[in-house]
């Protein structure tokens, strides 16, 4: 309760509110780019044992709460508008862009109707390797496996480790531990082969956990509220790829979308998106393909002059309605403002 009160005071009345105003006066208005992944039914998110209840996934009602709170305080604009404003044009006013990575089918089934209801634009970043297939991306396949095991423990000979699966949280921990093992010991182009050798059919998704189809994307490509961007072919972190693999990952995702949908892809989302996951070489590959922006998962608010190939984003929380002010705290970039003053 005290923490919530402090955040309310800071957001609306305290010195940080004044400092945000001063920063806007000095550097101009900012654009916060929010990113999420899956948007699921309220029942799925409410089930603590459901493997889809992972950080980065949220529910239909929580997305509605977020939109209603955001439109009170910000313009919600498209990625095209954001890029124009961050460039030579300048940021018109405090704004937000909604982005969703990985291209799951629920972005079509659940999210699109909410966006249309409130006439709000969004960008979907797509990994083309799984479009129209009955497979998931490599990391999701690992999660599928650890949640498909009926026992409360599993010993994986490959990693020479026994994993505790006695709760949903521990299954997540086990899955991410095994992902780290893969990234440490294998090149990305071997991930799927290794996962299949360990997990077999347990790595496959359920019918309601597929990614978008090409027919879905054809409809989305014609939807005025939706901008489609590329997110690499297999979602391999580029930091783990050599230049040949990186170039393939980037180029294949862009060309697949452009050729199959007859559209121009202008925006890219780095898989994982940490500061170590891209460099000047990757940016040159993107520019050579005619890409005009690339988003990261580096937190912060973007202002005029922002490097358009290092755009910052803020994660979409799962339970916004539990603490709206906490949500606005991050959207407003207050943690980064505090950090900048400490330096």
Q: For residue range 119-166, what is the model confidence (pLDDT) as tens digits?
A: 999 999 999 999 999 999 999 999 999 999 999 999 999 999 999 999
Whether 338 is in a domain gets the answer: no
* Domain residue limits at 168: 138-203
Q: Which of 181, 203, 225 is the last residue of a domain?
A: 203
Token reading at 215: 């027919």
Whether 268 is in a domain gets the answer: yes
Query: Do 117 and 254 lie in a common domain?
Result: yes
- pLDDT higher than 60, residue 241: yes
Q: Which of 152, 173, 203 is the last residue of a domain?
A: 203
pLDDT value at residue 11: 52
Query: Do 69 and 144 lie in a common domain?
Result: no
Structural domain total, the chain: 2
Whether 54 is in a domain gets the answer: yes
pLDDT value at residue 8: 52
Query: Do 117 and 219 lie in a common domain?
Result: yes
- pLDDT higher than 90, residue 45: no
Whether 23 is in a domain gets the answer: no
**pLDDT per residue over 271-307, tens digit each?**
999 999 999 999 999 999 999 999 999 999 999 999 9
CA dihedral 235, 241, 245, 246 (to 10 degrees): 70
Query: For position 284, which CATH number holds?
Result: 3.20.20.370
Query: Do 237 and 270 lie in a common domain?
Result: yes
Higher-confidence position of 45 and 115? 115
Query: Do 128 and 172 lie in a common domain?
Result: no
Query: Do 184 and 232 lie in a common domain?
Result: no
**pLDDT per residue over 201-211, tens digit each?**
999 999 989 99
Query: Do 172 and 265 lie in a common domain?
Result: no
> How many whole angstroms separate alpha carbon 63 and alpha carbon 38?
11
Nearest-5° Cα angle at 75, 69 to 78: 115
Q: For residue 16, what pLDDT band results from cuts at 50, 70 and 90?
A: very low
> How many whole angstroms separate alpha carbon 28 and alpha carbon 92?
8
Query: Do 166 and 304 lie in a common domain?
Result: no
Residues 6+ apart with CB under 8 A from 274: 237, 239, 296, 297, 298
Beta-bridged to residue 76, according to DSSP, are 96
Query: Do 143 and 73 lie in a common domain?
Result: no
Beta-bridged to residue 229, according to DSSP, are 125
Express the helix, strand and coil content of the chain in percent, nearest 5 each. 50, 15, 35
Query: Do 181 and 296 lie in a common domain?
Result: no
Query: Do 164 and 312 lie in a common domain?
Result: no
Whether 339 is in a domain gets the answer: no
Query: Do 101 and 116 lie in a common domain?
Result: yes
């Amino acid at each position: 309760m005290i923490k919530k009160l402090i955040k309310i005071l800071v957001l609306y009345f305290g010195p940080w509110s004044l400092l945000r105003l001063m920063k806007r006066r000095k550097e101009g208005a900012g654009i916060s780019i929010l990113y999420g992944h899956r948007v699921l039914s309220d029942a799925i998110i409410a089930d603590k044992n459901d493997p889809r209840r992972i950080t980065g996934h949220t529910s239909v009602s929580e997305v509605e709460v977020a939109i209603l709170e955001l439109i009170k305080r910000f313009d919600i604009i498209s990625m095209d508008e954001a890029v124009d404003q961050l460039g030579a044009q300048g940021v018109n006013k405090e704004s937000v862009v909604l982005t969703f990575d990985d291209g799951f089918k629920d972005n079509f089934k659940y999210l699109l109707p909410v966006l249309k209801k409130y006439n709000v634009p969004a960008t979907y970043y797509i990994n083309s390797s799984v479009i129209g297939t009955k497979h998931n991306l490599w990391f999701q396949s690992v999660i599928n496996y650890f949640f498909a095991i009926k026992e409360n423990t599993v010993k994986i000979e490959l990693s020479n480790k026994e994993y505790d699966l006695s709760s949903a949280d521990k299954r997540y921990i086990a899955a991410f531990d095994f992902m780290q093992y893969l990234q440490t010991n294998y090149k990305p182009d071997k991930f799927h082969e290794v996962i299949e050798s360990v997990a077999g059919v347990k790595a496959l998704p359920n019918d309601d956990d597929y990614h978008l189809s090409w027919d879905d994307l054809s409809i989305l490509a014609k939807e005025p509220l939706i901008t489609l961007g590329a997110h690499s072919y297999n979602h391999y972190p580029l930091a783990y790829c050599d230049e040949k693999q990186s170039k393939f990952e980037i180029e294949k995702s862009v060309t697949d979308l452009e050729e199959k949908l007859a559209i121009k892809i202008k925006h890219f989302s780095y898989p994982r998106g940490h500061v170590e996951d891209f460099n000047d070489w990757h940016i040159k590959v993107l520019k050579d393909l005619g890409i005009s922006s690339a988003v990261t998962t580096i937190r912060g608010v973007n202002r005029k002059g922002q490097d358009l190939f290092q755009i910052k984003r803020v994660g979409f929380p799962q339970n916004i309605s539990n603490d709206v002010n906490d949500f606005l705290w991050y959207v407003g970039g207050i943690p980064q403002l505090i950090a900048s003053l400490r330096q």
